[in-house]
Amino acid sequence: MAVDYTPLHVAAEGSARLGRISTPHGSIATPAFAPVGTQATVKALDPRDLAELGAELVLANTYHLYLRPGADVVAEMGGLHGFMGWAGPILTDSGGFQVYSLADRRQVSDDGVLFRSHIDGSQHHFTPEKVVGIQEQLGADIIMCLDECAVPDDRAYVELALARTHVWAERCRAAQTRSDQALFGIIQGGVFADLRLRSADFLVGLDFPGYAIGGLSVGESKALMYEMLDITVPVLPADKPRYLMGVGAPEDLLEGVARGIDLFDCVLPTRLARNASLFTRHGRLNVRNAAWARAPGAIDEDCACYTCRNFSRAYLRHLFKAGELLAYRLATIHNLHFLLQLMRDIRQAIGADTFAAFKQEFLAHYPIVPDEVRAQNRDKRMTRRRQ
Ligand SMILES: [Zn+2]
């Protein structure tokens, strides 16, 4: 068994649960947050930093690594673990999401996705079989089925994409040759309750070693995302891990855990860090602001991270204003520490049966970025990406 999930404790109230995922490269205490190392590196950090931060799972992107340096290069260098010098558990996505969000001129058919590289315009074809083959070369502990991410509120398209995702899930299973990797199925269905249920039922029928919930946090409201989780998670088997893909805002981690999610990943903490936006218990703080020019205090006086123990807001602001590389590193250390510490606190609270109170207390002090502002930020990002 490549990956084994052991449920350890379910909260007295609600569905939050403690567990452990064992993999050939070590175990992961869940609920867990996985930092994203898009190109086999978590931007601005090295694996020693990640270990010191207490990260137990790192995600890498199949699409990017397939295009550059190539899955065969990674395989020759000992797979991702050897190549990037990270000995702990690794998860790779299928590349599907990046094909839909990054690649140029993609064409989806029942067989797979034809697309052009965003790097050099070269043409490539991803099929379920090919994507499993690439992930076998990359060698992560947890790998993903190829899925089709539809516009979440276009019902006709979501239904078509769902049918394809299901056939592709069967083909991915059949294509798998390595027994030391766990292949997770991905539940889709947009924002439609009946389609989410149909997808969960179908994939559970295929008996995957874990289930991912995809196609959420892609522009729909938070209320709708939580509603989809309320519908989906209860039909998933209790003895398999549940992974909510691409979700990493603190409030979403708490709401996801409350609904029984075990794994999360997101570029949010690292991307925000590079934009000088830092998490605190009282919301995000932009350290570029003139207000901090002479601020001797840490980003967060209560934070135990390396950055907060050693550097002032004034120094971080200076590094960002001067474009110094250390700015990215120190900010990323703080933001990842914030989320990884939040997950440790969450696990501790579940164990002590105080999770509901912990969640309420955290959310009482943490201002949530409104849906409209998130949508504007997303639009700005997509526009920049297309330019
Ligand atoms: Zn800190």
- State pLDDT tens for residues 113-141: 999 999 999 999 999 999 999 999 999 99
pTM over 0.85: yes
Q: CB–CB of 50/42 below 8 Å?
A: yes
When pLDDT is cut at 50, 70 and 90, the band that residue 96 belongs to is confident
pLDDT tens-digit profile of 260-309?
999 999 999 999 999 999 999 999 999 999 999 999 999 999 999 999 99
* pLDDT at residue 376, as a whole number: 82
pLDDT at 384 over 80: no
pLDDT at 199 over 90: yes
When pLDDT is cut at 50, 70 and 90, the band that residue 193 belongs to is very high
What number is the average pLDDT over the span 29-55?
98
- Give the Å distance between the CA of 358 and the centre of ligand 1: 20
- Give the Å distance between the CA of 54 and the centre of ligand 1: 14
- Give the Å distance between the CA of 279 and the centre of ligand 1: 9
* pLDDT at residue 385, as a whole number: 62
Active site residue 93: yes
pLDDT tens-digit profile of 137-158?
999 999 999 999 888 889 999 9
- Helix, strand or coil, per DSSP, at residue 86: coil
* pLDDT at residue 17, as a whole number: 98
What average pLDDT does the structure give for the chain? 95
- Which of 49, 147, 265, 300 is catalytic? The answer is 265
Q: How far is CA 185 from CA 120, 174, 202, 369, in A?
A: 31, 13, 10, 31
Tokens of 246: 């691409």
Tokens of 262: 């075990």
Alpha-helical runs (H) found in 176-258: 193-205, 222-232, 250-258
What number is the average pLDDT over the span 71-100?
95
- Give the Å distance between the CA of 335 and the centre of ligand 1: 7
Q: CB–CB of 333/244 below 8 Å?
A: no
- Which of 49, 93, 252, 262 is catalytic? The answer is 93
Say how far apart CA 288 and CA 278 lie, in whole Å.
Answer: 10
Q: CB–CB of 331/303 below 8 Å?
A: no
